[in-house]
Amino acid sequence: MEIERYLESLVPERPAELAAMEQRARAVRFPIVGPAAGHLCYLLTRLIGARRVFELGSGFGYSTAWFARAVQENGGGIVYHVVWDEQLSREAREHLAVLGLDGVVRFVVGEAVEVLRRTDGPFDVIFNDIKKEGYPAALPVIADRLRPGGLLIADNMLWGGRIFDAADRSPATEGVRAFTRLITSDPRWISALVPVRDGLLLAMRR
């Protein structure tokens, strides 16, 4: 898409390892957030001076790298990389080590919402990128672990346009719709949907 290519062209040159991760994602069709959304996450994390970030559903560590870079520049802290899959966790470890960012990342293998439930908060930023049918049930746990003024970032909130197809009642599409409704109708959240790549929902916890 023309706008997406343009936005990506505006992202500054990044470390070779990050570019290699983008190539790998393309080659094996793994859904990473991509450079434009990744760079926006980095900017937001720098803006609020976050030191504690929790990722639900981290893949092989691409988004983690952007958050970790921001946390390191903010003076250090911790980014939780949480995936169900041990192989993905190992790959993420390797990538983050090459980037010199593994010192601010904690790698946890497990069901992301369950891990967040048993991890002490509060967090400055929580990034949600788990399976979409799981989004609504994750929200109360996220709300409980985010500090007041903290930022929730949720990926895939446009869901490739499937949310506009009234005939699509699949659990994933319904999960994205319900999550959107829950946040935008709750006065405890101040939110905006930013249509970068597949839609990032940004929401501040009052």
The smaller minimum CB distance to Mg ion, of residues 141 and 176, is found at: 176
CB of 136 closer than 8 Å to CB of 160: no
Tally of CB atoms within 10 A around 6: 10
Which amino acid is it at 138?
A: A
Nearer to Mg ion, 55 or 155 (CB): 155
| Beta strand extents in the chain (DSSP E only) | 52-56, 78-83, 105-109, 123-128, 146-154, 189-194, 200-205
Q: Looking at 58, 63, 128, 156, which residue binds Mg ion (CB under 5 A)?
A: 156
State yes or no: residue 155 binds Mg ion (CB under 5 A): yes
Closest CB to Mg ion among residues 77, 199? 199
Residue from the set 21, 34, 129, 134 that interacts with Mg ion by CB under 5 A: 129
Residue 21 and residue 95 in contact, taking contact as beta carbons nearer than 8 Å: yes
Binding site for ligand DHB (CB under 6 A): 31, 129, 155-156, 160, 198
- 26 φ, ψ to 5°? -65, -45
Residue closer to Mg ion, measured from CB, 51 or 79: 79
Number of residues interacting with Mg ion: please give it, by CB under 5 A. Answer: 3
Residue 89 binds which entry of Mg ion, ligand DHB, none, with Cβ cut-offs from 5 to 8 Å by kind?
Answer: none
Residue 140 touches which of Mg ion, ligand DHB, none (Cβ within 5-8 Å per kind): none
Helices assigned H by DSSP within 29-132: 34-47, 62-73, 86-98, 112-117
Nearer to ligand DHB by Cβ, of 97 and 163: the residue is 163
Tokens of 168: 């699509």
Question: How many other CB atoms are found less than 10 A from the CB of residue 203?
Answer: 25
* Smallest separation (angstroms) from ligand DHB to the CB of 69: 20
Q: How far is the CB of 53 from Mg ion (least distance, A)?
A: 16
CB of 205 to ligand DHB, least distance (A): 22
